Amino acid sequence: MRHRLLALVLVAGCSPTTFAFTPSNPKGVVSLPENCPVEVVTSVPPEKNYEDLGTLDFYNGTEPKNLDDFKKAVKKQVCDAGGDAVIAIANDKGQYTKGTVIHYLGEMAKPVKPITDLPATQNQDTEKPPGS
Query: What's the CATH number where 82 sits?
Result: 3.30.1660
The answer to the question of residue 53 being in a domain is: yes
The answer on pLDDT for 28 being more than 70 is yes
* Domain containing residue 94: 27-108
Q: Is the pTM of this model over 0.85?
A: no
The answer to the question of residue 95 being in a domain is: yes
Q: Radius of gyration (Cα) for the chain, nearest Å? A: 26
The answer to the question of residue 51 being in a domain is: yes
Domain count, the chain: 1
The answer on pLDDT for 126 being more than 90 is no
pLDDT score, position 7: 41
Counting residues of the chain whose pLDDT is more than 90, the rounded percentage is 56
Alpha-carbon torsion, ordered 78, 58, 25, 107, to 10 deg: -50
